[in-house]
Structure formats: structure tokens, C-alpha cells
Amino acid sequence: MPSLSTGTALSPVRVRFALLALALGGFAIGATEFVAMGLLPNLAADLLPGLYASSPDAANAQVGWLISAYALGVVVGAPTIAAAAARWPRKKLLLALLAAFTLATIASALLPSFGLVLVARFVAALPHGAYFGIASLVAAELMGPGKRARGVAIVLSGLTIANVIGVPSITWLGQIAGWRIAYLTVAALFALTFVAVIIAVPFQAGNPGATMRNELRAFSRLQVWLALLIGAVGFGGLFAVYTYVAPLVIEVTGLPALAVPLVLVVVGLGMTVGNFVGGALADRSVRRSMYLFFAVMLAALLLLAFSAHTLAGLLIGVFLVGGAASALSPTIQTRLMDVAHDSQSIAAALNHSALNIGNALGAYLGGVVVAAGLGYVAPIWVGLGLSVLGVVLAVTTFAIDRNRRRRGVDVPYGTQLIGVISPS
């Protein structure tokens, strides 16, 4: 039976409630991260009215910066907060992160100009990676030995379920009542999570021996950098598509704007299925899981590129893209936790830095091709190129493992950038 770090046994019911509270935070984060995708034209029309009137494509591309700003905030905040606060009791840290989420999301909803909203989205993203990282460590301890990836998947399930229920419904609300009401609704979800964590999540001590220096040692390992690059580059395939899904649905497939939330439901269903399948398979073999889901991603992007003008092609394509990308997330997070050795707090958070570099990269490069007048299918080809590079990096990192085993090195993941083999 799982237990607290103090040794007190937890009942199965208490464990389930604690995991549900952690997943609720993932749900709120999924809503705040992804709701802008479905409301891109609404944000552009309200925050950049002059540009939108003269060139909707240019305005949509510029408002895509809000998504990139959020992603960059995750990149900055995840390692910084995780390393600095590794010694904090985990419940206390989760509550501080949720309070910051709530306040910054309210600011996103209320600030008047595009520039200020851009800053608010960056600030709102700072707690993102640290929350998922710490919540994943809490969930892994609650789940027990041999179930790390499944613990990660439970926390991430909130994010994926948000794409089935939360993002489409909040997108619909934003289309009807305005995007600012949509963000205030997201802020209310964070406040609800704050209360749920107070009630349901048990105390867990931080790592009393952790220091920022020790946590940052993760960055000295070549395999950590390769795992980060796999997430950053490979995951860009999803966000090159997802960022511009609303204009893809309207301009390419020819569906009305009210169909966008329904397409987002399909993306979310794919992400939910992929998350749980990826978590289960990663506990068996990280390598096979990574290769499998990159293959599915490549096939799905090709299918979408050639058939997005049809309803069936659009729905099947976005389902598979969302599923493959979401399955890669617990796989990459488990890989990072393997290769980071004792730097577990920062390793658990770094996955979200990597994925949100992919978010920023996919959104930016997709915006470049859209602004160049290449249309809304062009970001899909951008995503395909990024995913191919992710496959190359995956092959490289596992080739290093094989080479080390052939040489009889008993530390499969410890090569340092400076050429020294770290102790296991």
C-alpha cells in the first residue's frame, strides 16, 4: 500500500482522491495552454483589430506569439523553479504554483492590450513545468514501484482530458461570450484545484539533500540534452498543426467556425488515448515506445497533409497526431528521469520545458509559412520535418546506449558532456 514520506499508510480511496486532485491541475493547465488555439481568430480580431481588418492571416500569425510566449515561459520556469525549490515540501510547492497560475490567468483575461497580454501569458506559464514535474513525482510515489510512467500518465491525463472536454467547451464559451470570459473560467479552474490539493494531497517532504547545484548537474549529461532535444524538436510536429487548427478547419476543410470545438474534441480524444497507451508501453520499454509513436506521428502528419480538405481526413489525421504526440510525453519524461540520475526534480520538470520549446518552435515556424502566404496546410509539412529530426535524435541517443553496453560500461545513461562517465 502506498505511504506518505512519514511512513503513514494511505488507503486506496485516499490515493485515488490525491491523484484526481493532481490531474485536475493538469486539466486546468491544459485549458490555459490550449484554449488560445481554438480562439486564435477571436483574439486577433480583438487585440489587433486594425491588422485583422487588413490581413486576417497576418493577424492570426502574430497572435500565435501568445502561444509561443506561453511556451517560452514554461521553458524558463520549469528548470528554474524545480531546481530552486527541490527541498520544499512538495504539497507546499504545488499550492504556491497553483496560486501563481490563478493570479496570472486573471491578469491575462483583464489586461487591455496585445503587448500586456503577451507578457501575462509568459508569466502564467512559469509554474507549468514545475507543477507537472513535482506532481509527477508525488504521483509516482503514490503509485508505488514499477509504475513511474503510469503515475506520470495519470497527472498528464488531466491535460489530455482537458482537450476532450475543457478546451472545446471553453472555446465555445469564448466564441459566444468573448475570449476574456474564457480565461476567467480557466482561472476559476486553478482556484478549484488549489482547494482540491489542500484537501486531498498528502504531505510529502522535498529532497533535504537537494541543492540547486546538484539539480543543475543534469545539464552536464549528454543524454539529458539529447532527450530534451527529442522532446523539443519531435513534439513541434503537434504544435505546428494544433496552433493553426482553427483556420485549418475553416479555410482548408471548409467547415463553419462552430465546428472548431468539435475538432478539438477529436484532438483531445486522441491525446487521452495516447497518454495512457504511452504510459503503459513506456513502463515496458522506453526505446520501443519512442520509436513506435514517432512512426505513428509521421504517418499521421502525412495523412493530414494530403487529406485535410476532407472531413474524414481531417478528423482521422488530428486524432492520430494528438494521440502519437501525447504518447511520446510520458515516454520522454521517463527517459529524462532515467538519464538525470539524482537530479529527479529538475528531470521531471525539464520534460515540459522540452515539449514547450516544441510548442514555441512549431507555433513560430507554422506562423512563418502562413505569413508567407503558403496556406494552412504548410504548417503540417513543417511539423513533419520537425518530427523527422526527432526520429534522428532518438536513433542517436539509443545508439549511444548500445555502444556503451558493447564496451561493457555499467552506466547506460551517464555520459557527461565533458567526457567523464558519471557514477551510477
Name the residue with cell 487591455.
112
Q: Greater confidence, 207 or 252?
A: 252
Quick one: pLDDT band at residue 190, thresholds 50, 70, 90?
Answer: very high
**Whole-angstrom distance, CA of residue 349 vs CA of residue 345:** 6
Percent of the chain with pLDDT over 70: 86
Dihedral sign for Cα 274, 276, 280, 286, please: positive
Give the global pTM: 0.70
Dihedral sign for Cα 394, 396, 402, 407, please: negative
If you average pLDDT over residues 24-40, what whole number do you get? 86
User: Which fold would CATH assign to domain 12-406?
Assistant: Growth Hormone; Chain: A; (1.20.1250)
Residue 6 pLDDT = 47
Question: What residues does each domain of the chain span?
Answer: 12-406
Quick one: pLDDT band at residue 1, thresholds 50, 70, 90?
Answer: very low
Q: Greater confidence, 410 or 213?
A: 213
Contact 378, 235 (CB under 8 A): no
Q: Greater confidence, 336 or 27?
A: 27
**Whole-angstrom distance, CA of residue 159 vs CA of residue 278:** 14
Q: Is the pLDDT of residue 256 over 60?
A: yes
357 closest CA partner among 332, 339, 338, 377: 332
Q: Is the pLDDT of residue 424 over 80?
A: no
Residue 416 pLDDT = 38
Highest mean pLDDT among 49-58, 308-317, 353-362: 308-317
pLDDT in tens, 142-151: 776 666 667 7
CA distances, 146 to each of 140, 157, 221, 268, 332 (Å):
9, 19, 24, 27, 16
Percent of the chain with pLDDT over 90: 23
Quick one: pLDDT band at residue 123, thresholds 50, 70, 90?
Answer: very high
Contact 233, 389 (CB under 8 A): yes
334 closest CA partner among 146, 159, 67, 91: 146
Write out the E strands in 186-272: none
Buried b (16+ CB within 10 A) or exposed e, 295-307: ebbbebbebbbeb
Contact 44, 56 (CB under 8 A): yes
Dihedral sign for Cα 363, 237, 130, 142, please: positive
Residue 381 pLDDT = 93
Residue 207 pLDDT = 62
Per-residue DSSP letter, 254? -
Average predicted confidence (pLDDT) for the chain: 82
Highest mean pLDDT among 96-110, 159-173, 197-211, 244-258: 96-110
If you average pLDDT over residues 219-223, what whole number do you get? 79
Buried b (16+ CB within 10 A) or exposed e, 176-209: eeebbebbbbbbebbbbbbebbeebbbebebbee
**Whole-angstrom distance, CA of residue 389 vs CA of residue 334:** 20
